[in-house]
Amino acid sequence: MILFDTTSASAWKHASGLARVSRRLLEELGPRARPLLWPDIASEAKASDWILTPELFSDAERPGFADFLDNKPCRVAAIYHDSIPMKHPAITWPKSVERHPGYVKLLSKFDRVWAVSQASSEELLGIWDWQGVRNPPPVEVLSLGADWPDFPRTRGGTQSAAKVPKIVATGILEPRKNQAVLLDACAALRGEGLEFELHLVGRVNPHFGKPIARRVKALAASWPGLRHHATLGDAGLAALLRSSRATAFPSIAEGCGLPLLESLWMAIPCVCSDIAPLRENAAAGGCLVVEGNAVEGWTDALRRILTDDGLHERLVAQAGSRELPTWAGAAAVLYGALV
């Protein structure tokens, strides 16, 4: 049996990448996995079980966790996302920055680890080497799903007949997601006379997102086409994506970049930054990668996606025809390895 750790996910009220990974994998594993919380998951484990956690953890938040890993009653596996708190501490919640080195060190005591991208896998192995970890567990890549529950794959263009094209950017409002460069590029394009809408979808980071939220509110006063959707369920987001010309993902740090994959599932081209995990997922087509992730590059890329119908049609065709990973496939990989 797979004992699936939902200690944090069970209490989350917001939608995030970690929450989506936990929820979708658990849904696809179905009766093959049993959701449990710490410390119940430790006390109920049998020698034949696997404990699987997609969560972040520390011994301070889960008393006895380090000792549990030193004296495991069964085998344990984890899904590793990224080490953004260590790479970008100035724009990451201090509690996350404080706990992350210990979290990564604890991961080295697991029996198996899956990373959410090749870039993430290389990052983890590099940190372990820096920490002096010897004989680390094997790290494999788990391709996360692009599919949406209740929304079948779109193979062709779905843009609405609206005269004003829409760009949609999904992600919490914060410096890491880099909405500032997107707003700067859009301001330049509007100065050229281009007419379009920009929809930002995501809650505001309570620690670092207020400046960007204030800027969005101020700009929206003179640009009705700029809209912030703080909460939007799957159905609302899917409808918005299907009516858009493209998505934008200017993030400066990601583990995988689910919004890019989910955009391609809808056959919507994605304009994205050139960080390694996004390049990895963009390589097979349907994306326009912005080299350098600077305002000038974003201005040019958005201009092209908004005005070049031939380019747009090619990207739509690529998005609709390429192979995309699914959550059922990810669950099958885990189940095949753990049972």
Boundaries of every domain in the chain: 2-145+326-338, 166-321
CATH superfamily of 166-321: Glycogen Phosphorylase B; (3.40.50.2000)
What is the mean predicted confidence (pLDDT) over 244-264?
97
Residues 6+ apart with CB under 8 A from 206: none
Asked if residue 39 has a cis previous peptide bond (ω within 30° of 0), the answer is yes
Tell me, what's the pLDDT at 8? 86
What is the mean predicted confidence (pLDDT) over 175-181?
97
Work out the pLDDT band at 10, boundaries 50, 70, 90: confident
What is the mean predicted confidence (pLDDT) over 163-187?
97
295-307 and 179-191 helices, crossing angle to 10°:
60
Highest mean pLDDT among 5-9, 62-66, 157-161, 197-201: 197-201
What is the mean predicted confidence (pLDDT) over 76-89?
97
Tell me, what's the pLDDT at 339? 87
What does the CA dihedral 275, 24, 115, 286 come to, rounded to 10 degrees?
A: -30
| Position 157 pLDDT exceeds 80 | no
Tell me, what's the pLDDT at 177? 97
pTM of the entire structure? 0.94
Work out the pLDDT band at 16, boundaries 50, 70, 90: confident
What is the mean predicted confidence (pLDDT) over 104-114?
98
As to burial, measured by CB atoms within 10 angstroms (0-12 exposed, 13-18 middle, 19+ buried), residue 25 is buried
Work out the pLDDT band at 11, boundaries 50, 70, 90: confident
Tell me, what's the pLDDT at 13? 67
What is the mean predicted confidence (pLDDT) over 269-279?
98
Tell me, what's the pLDDT at 233? 87
Work out the pLDDT band at 18, boundaries 50, 70, 90: confident
Cα separation of 337 and 21, whole Å?
A: 18
Architecture of domain 2-145+326-338: 3-Layer(aba) Sandwich (3.40)
What mean pLDDT value characterizes the chain? 94
Work out the pLDDT band at 162, boundaries 50, 70, 90: low
Residues 6+ apart with CB under 8 A from 148: 234, 238, 262, 265
| Position 159 pLDDT exceeds 70 | no
Main-chain phi, psi angles of 275, to 5 degrees: -70, 155
Same topology between domain 2-145+326-338 and domain 166-321: yes
Cα separation of 76 and 206, whole Å?
A: 34
Work out the pLDDT band at 164, boundaries 50, 70, 90: very high
